[in-house]
Structure 1
Amino acid sequence: MGARLREPPRHPVVRRRRGRLPAPDARVQRPDEEERPLKGEQEFFAAATVEWADAGDGISERVLSRGPDGMLTRIARWAPGTTSGAEVIRHEYVEEVYLLEGELTDLTLQRTFRPGDYACRPPGMPHGPYTTGTGCVMLEIRYSAG
């Protein structure tokens, strides 16, 4: 009789307590997996393997991780000539943005941002609207303030 193969043990779903990091052996969640209570732990993977998806209005995205309540980490690519609209933007989540390529102009501030520029916006903070003549690529992280 041959030896019976056993499935490897499954690690528990990460349940993070405030101020604590998840255990180093916590289960890995890939972008294509079902949502978990929190964004799962992810070891390095090639972001370029995530396909660009149309996010609408001249923006495409590579979603690197997603969680409940709008938690999201993505690379957003704005095509040249894209505008976020005519209105000032406000939302109910924290948003961090790091500009990787191109230029992004805040039409309210009349100020242009370039690679290496960073923004952190708490819920309700007014910003934008934005436009880009050259196109731009940014890393965007969204999470709940609670």
Structure 2
Amino acid sequence: MSNGKPHLEFHTLDLQSGWETPPGYPEGIKQKILASDFNEDGKAGGRSRLLRFDPGVFTTDPFVHEYWEEVFLISGDLTVGNDKSGNGGAAFAPNTYACRPPGAYHGPFKSNGGCLLFELHYFSEKPTNK
């Protein structure tokens, strides 16, 4: 059982440290977890993170997961739907947003010049019959 995300007031983020490559991602993509009580195995909780692509990095296969995902492109460029060689896809500029329900296939992704994304991942409560 989760105790929830921590209570965090405004504070300066250290954007130089604390980055790590998420499991299953290529080396040039790194995340920085901002707040989390995310339990993917238990299908509970949520997390907020920054995701950073180095210039020229791309993924080769679509992603699909069992949680909601909201993504905001803060800076740089992001291409969605490239092939396994990093070619093709639709290019997006800063201030673009996506909201994906559980089970939605998305990607692959690439960034020509690098980018920074803000993401929310969370499991929603299942409705109860009353």
TM-score by length of 2: 0.75
Match of 2:54 among 75, 79, 83: 79
Q: Which has the higher contact order (CA 8 A, sep 6+)?
A: 2
How many angstroms does 1:50 deviate by?
7.2
User: Which residue in 1 is equivalent to 2:14?
Assistant: 48
What pairs up with 1:20-35 in 2 under 5 angstroms?
A: none
Say if 2:38 and 2:122, in contact at 8 Å, map to a contact too. Answer: no
Say if 1:54 and 1:60, in contact at 8 Å, map to a contact too. Answer: yes
State percent identity of aligned pairs: 33
User: Which residue in 2 is equivalent to 1:89?
Assistant: 63
User: Which residue in 1 is equivalent to 2:32?
Assistant: 62
| Superimposed CA distance per residue, residues 58-80 of structure 1 (whole angstroms, 9 cap, x where no aligned partner) | 11222111113142211111001
User: Which residue in 1 is equivalent to 2:109?
Assistant: 130
Q: State the alpha-carbon separation in 2 of the partners of residues 130 and 46 from structure 1.
A: 29
Q: State the alpha-carbon separation in 1 of the partners of residues 109 and 116 from structure 2.
A: 13
Q: Which amino acid aligns with 1:136?
A: C
How many angstroms does 1:39 deviate by?
1.0
Q: State the alpha-carbon separation in 2 of the partners of residues 37 and 84 from structure 1.
A: 34
Q: Which structure 2 residue ranges, 5 or more long, are not aligned?
A: 41-45, 83-87, 126-130
Say if 1:79 and 1:136, in contact at 8 Å, map to a contact too. Answer: yes
Say if 1:52 and 1:60, in contact at 8 Å, map to a contact too. Answer: no
Q: Which amino acid aligns with 2:5?
A: K
User: Which residue in 2 is equivalent to 1:13?
Assistant: none
Structure number with higher helix proportion: 1
Say if 1:69 and 1:144, in contact at 8 Å, map to a contact too. Answer: no
Deviates most, 132-141 or 65-74? 65-74
User: Which residue in 1 is equivalent to 2:122?
Assistant: 143
The structure that has the greater radius of gyration is 1
Q: State the alpha-carbon separation in 2 of the partners of residues 72 and 115 from structure 1.
A: 22
Say if 1:100 and 1:139, in contact at 8 Å, map to a contact too. Answer: yes
